Amino acid sequence: PQAGSDTAALRATAQRDGDCFVLNGTKQFVSNGSEAGVAVVLAQTDKSKGKKGWSAFVIDPRQAGYQVSRIESKLGQHTAHTAQIVFDNFRAPATSLLAEEGCGYSTILGSLSDGRIGIAFIAAGAARGALDAALQYANEREVSGRTIIELQGVAFDLADMAAQVDVAIQYCLHAARLCEAGQECGKEASIAKLFASEMAEKVCSQALQIHGGYGYLTDFPVERYFRDVRVTSIYEGTSHIQKLIIARSLA
């Protein structure tokens, strides 16, 4: 819970005990942590080695010692539970090690690009949904005998939204192709996530605005898009973290 973007602040431990590792610690913001049938856990197996002393385990959440201590109440994404998990003397067989002991940090880092590209697509998809909803509304809503899409101000807003959504989707596809080909794509994944997540927040907000007062009601989908998309610039690395990665790649 205290770590956030500071991955080096990891405190969970996994101490060897015969043919098992005993896991203790607390994990915060675990997506579907209360629902998943499999969990991947990162913990310190040798504190003296720093990040080279971290190991990853593939474990069964149904075992004793895996405790769901809290389900978070969130602004959006209500259908995806986010949990706090406590490991209380959880016994993980040595065979549950992912890769080798001490390779956990590099193993987890290797999956970050995949995750960031996935979040970028989530953001772009929400923006696409919000744009579609705004287009439908603008073609149906009439003011002074004309649909509001005939008003230049609204039409220009929709044009800007469409351009941003299309650019985001194309760059997400570019990053995904690099990732699928096994090429280094840390910078591209960060660019995709940064651009798509910040673009989506603006587009969803504008879609709500086009709906006027109705956009603020739960009768229309744009209020949910607006709430759901906000977290995409936070999880899997905040926008500032993405900018840091991109800046380092330019040096």
Residues that are catalytic: 236
Contact (CB, 8 A) for 64 and 90: yes
Which residues neighbour 245 within 8 Å (Cβ) at sequence distance 6 or greater? 186, 187, 190, 237
CA distance 191 to 235: 15
Pairing mode, strands 20-31 and 13-17:
antiparallel
CA distance 34 to 122: 22
Count of alpha carbons within 13 angstroms of residue 164, beta-carbon side = 26
Contact (CB, 8 A) for 57 and 23: yes
Backbone angles phi, psi at 223, to 5 degrees: -65, -35
Contact (CB, 8 A) for 133 and 220: yes
